[in-house]
Structure 1
Amino acid sequence: MSATDHLPGHAHRAHRPTRPPGLPPALARAFAPDSPGPALPPGPRVNPWRGAGAAPVAAPDRERDLLAALWSGEGFHRRADGTPTGIRRRPVPSAGGAYPVQTHLVVGAGGALEAGRYVYDHEHDTLLRRDDTADRAAGWTAEDANDRAAGTHVVLTVQPGRSFGRYRHRAWPLWVADTAYALAAVEFLIGADPARVRLGPGAPLRALLGVPRAAEPDRWLGRGLVPEIPLAALELPASWAVAPGRRDALAGRRSPALSEFTAAARHRPRADGADRAAAACGQAWVRGAHRLATWSVAVHAPAAAVADALWRSHRAAAGLCYAGALSGRWRCRPVSGFSATGGRWTVHALAMLPGDPSAAEGAAP
């Protein structure tokens, strides 16, 4: 397994946890210890929107800075033995280095970009404008550009195959996790409250982005695209800019290697709850965390409460992760894949090691 960011727990555990009864069986299976099995082809790293009529455009300075700060990284993830993989490191973490999140802009009148729908190709650092005529001809949209919402919206989608290819039945919580970390990164970079944040999935986000349901794959595949699921939309405030210090902090963020946690466990007392967390997620390295933050939900919580807990926990964890990078005090590694203990599910955790060795032991990120 490559040394990536937040890793779901190991497949084989000594006990089978109770699945959340409030979830449909297909979703509840994500919390089972069943092995995902051999990896499947994950699909393209970015959708080939040019084949669907999208054309490159020059991005204004602010938008270019934001998109690059999210996804333009240096170097590659490394395997446990230290050898590099073919997976490029990016500022925003992703479970298993799958990087399913795609970034779109929906722009109303009066912005630096002409009104329309845009998609960012993070593999080639290129902003593309979608073809309104082609979208209407395919039955994806019906309105004119003038009917779109005012302002500029950053819409985050996932290509589900990117995570499903590796994690199968465990993939859907990771779609939320990766989107939440990307959403928090946008908020962190602009350093200002967004005008509005909407969470999905659902018809309002699909309408904003002008795409069909991912459950209608033929409508995507017929245009040479793989399905995407819009999961979050953030309306940028009227006045915003990428803060250089925050951009540099995010670019320099690295999840500590598992070997660092393993070594730390031998040399200092463990964080409160580290043994329980390590047992619940099947990842012994968690015992080496200097600090450990966890978020949980009752096993019998209804589906809406589970969804809310997933969004809240991952957005909060991302905020801690990025704040630690900005202060230099903490280096953070997200943790997923927990089983239930004591009637609660730990839906996410953040394992931390000191960044600056001179930082105060109890200092917050």
Structure 2
Amino acid sequence: MNHPEPDDLPAALAQARSARRPGPDTPAGAAVPAWPGPPLTFPDAGPADLDLDALLRLSLAAADGSGRLRPASSAGALHPVDTVLVVGDGCSLPPGRYGYDPLRHRAHRLGGPADGTPPGLTAELSVTAQRTASHYAHRAWPLLLLDTGHAAAALHLAARALGSAEPVLCPDGHGAHATALATVHVPPPGPASPPPPAPTPAELLARRSDPPPLPGTPPADVLLAVLTTAARAGGDDLRWCAAVGGPRPGLLEAAPDGAGLRRTAAGEARPTLAAWAAGQAWIAGAGAVLLARGCPADADAPHIRRTHLRAGYAVHLAHLTARRHGLAARPVGSWQQADLGAALGAPPGRDWIVHALALGTRHADEENTP
């Protein structure tokens, strides 16, 4: 696996935000690390155990032979996130460290448990940067961090679906594995049920990124629900708004009291967003575009890492909320020159688009239905 991030992450982010275009594709390399030892199947879980087989099938496992189709979103379906499973007591595998193979849904034992390993599972998430850089080149690092956030959120939702106590996300790694960008600790199931509404396994397996176009403006109450989900999950470093079209185009935010939406800017923003998002013209016709904004140009590496991981995490949870309300949705991670604050008249370099979720009331296949 590669080093968790470049030596100068702020410089890498500045390059990714620039107008410079990536060159031709390069080889992506292996889709899974060459974990040592024989592949192990996941045993059946006991009544009080965390079911690792089900947890990983609902979060990280590939559902097709190519490895592209998975419950966690990934830029270009390149899936750079690698996972080490730190297993404590109360799990369906014996305690120890395991490398996870999402293509074959197998574990490879790497060693015994360290002293102080907590009960349940701690998933240490790192990346093989070559997979994403093979297509996105210098634009890769924000996408790698966003993908890690999506993987963390997929684990969170799977744990809740299985009745685990609330998972804990650490967006700065701090695991025993030196290359971890983030860790997610999933406790064993407890007597208390997770707070409603817990997702169902069927919901998690059905959640996919819808192909464009995504026309149709969501109703105000649905858009508020999606914005509220993102804001709650996104931490203190990000602000959230939604660009809408229609007869009154502009930017909307959740009101501070949560009672509804308020308009923070007037005018049609979606064509500009389409230009900023690597020229994806379909975004100009999306029903709404949920935007995570923040991460100023002078942010240091921990701030960049934290905001991008949190943005991916929050957009993944918002995606599920959108699907529950019948919306089509697609994450949008690649943004160039997207200084939203400066475009709205604020000082430049302070308020950049970090991640987005395009929303619509109609799916692409419905557009072709007579």
TM-score (ref. length: structure 1): 0.69
Which residue number corresponds to residue 309 of structure 1? 307
1:60-108 residue CA offsets vs partner (Å, 9 max, x unmatched):
44110011112345458xxxxxxxxx55311211101111112221012
SS at match of 1:118: strand
Deviations 1:144-173 (A, max 9, x none): 635142222122221111111111211111
Q: 1:175: Cα distance to partner?
A: 1.1
Quick one: which amino acid aligns to residue 314 of structure 1? G
Residue in structure 1 matched with residue 182 of structure 2 by the alignment: 232
2:260 is equivalent to residue 283 of structure 1: no
- Structure 2 counterpart SS, 1:56: coil
Q: Which amino acid aligns with 1:28?
A: A
CA distance in 2, matches of 1:145, 1:322: 34
State the AA in 1 paired with 2:312: H
Query: C-alpha separation between the residues in 2 aligned to 1:147 and 1:87?
Result: 35
Q: Secondary structure at the match of 1:30?
A: helix
Give the structure, 1 or 2, with the largest relative contact order (CA under 8 Å, sep 6 or more).
Answer: 1
Structure 1, gaps ≥5 residues long: 1-21, 77-85, 133-143, 213-228, 357-365
Call closer, same or farther: CA 1:331–1:75 in 2, change over 3 Å: farther
Distance 1:102 1:23 in 2: 20
Distance in 1 (alpha carbons) for counterparts of 2:85 and 2:63: 24
Bigger mean CA deviation after superposition, 191-200 or 247-256: 191-200
- Give the Cα separation in 2 of the matches to 1:189 and 1:180: 14
**Which residue pairs with 1:219 in the alignment?**
none
Judged with a 3 Å threshold, the aligned counterparts in structure 2 of structure 1 residues 44 and 351 are, in CA distance, closer, same or farther, namely same
By how many angstroms is 1:337 displaced?
2.2
Name the structure with the higher helix share. Answer: 1
Aligned residue among 118, 122, 140 for 1:150: 118
CA shift for structure 1 position 300 = 3.8
SS at the partner of 1:128?
A: strand
Aligned amino acid, residue 42 of structure 2: A
- Note if contact 1:295-1:313 (Cα within 8 Å) is conserved in structure 2: yes
Please report how far the alpha carbon of residue 286 of structure 1 lies from its aligned counterpart in structure 2 after TM superposition: 0.7
- 1:53, 1:72 → 2: CA distance? 20
Q: 1:246 to 1:323 in 2, by over 3 A?
A: farther
Cα 1:60–1:179, aligned 2, differ >3 Å: closer, same or farther?
farther
Q: Secondary structure at the match of 2:200?
A: helix
8 Å CA contact retained: 2:68, 2:78: no
1:179-258 alignment, distance < 5 Å: 179-191=148-160, 194=166, 196-200=168-172, 204-205=174-175, 207=176, 209=177, 229-239=179-189, 246-258=200-212
Distance 1:195 1:332 in 2: 25
- Find the counterpart in structure 1 of residue 40 from structure 2: 56
Distance (whole Å) between structure 2 residues aligned to residue 230 and residue 301 of structure 1:
24
Shift of 1:193: 5.4
The one-letter code of the counterpart of 2:97 is: R
Q: Which sections of structure 2, spanning at least 5 residues, go unmatched?
A: 1-7, 46-50, 218-244, 251-268, 343-347, 364-370
8 Å CA contact 1:59, 1:127 repeated in 2:
no
RMSD: 3.1
1:269 aligns to 2:269 (yes or no): no
Quote how far apart the aligned CAs of 1:27 are: 3.9
TM-score, normalised on structure 2?
0.68
Q: Name the count of aligned residue pairs.
A: 286
> Structure 1 298/116 Cα, relative in aligned 2: closer, same or farther at 3 Å?
closer
> Could you give the per-residue CA deviations for residues 251-304 of structure 1, whole angstroms, max 9, x where no partner exists?
11222222x23x769xx8386332332232222111122122101126444224
Q: Separation in 1 of the partners of 2:205 and 2:187?
A: 23
SS in 1 for 2:293: strand
Shift of 1:319: 0.9
3-state DSSP class of the match of 1:230? Answer: coil
Change in 2 beyond 3 A, CA 1:54/1:27: farther
Residues 90-129 of structure 1 aligned to structure 2 (within 5 Å):
90-109=70-89, 111-129=91-109
Letter in 2 for 1:128: H
Which residue in 1 is equivalent to 2:361?
A: 354
Q: Residue 103 of structure 1 contacts residue 155 of structure 1 at CA under 8 Å; is this kept in 2?
A: yes
Question: Per-residue deviation at 1:44?
Answer: 0.8
Q: Which amino acid aligns with 1:269?
A: G
Partner residue, 1:135: none
2:40 alignment partner, SS class: strand
TM-superposed deviation, 1:120: 1.9
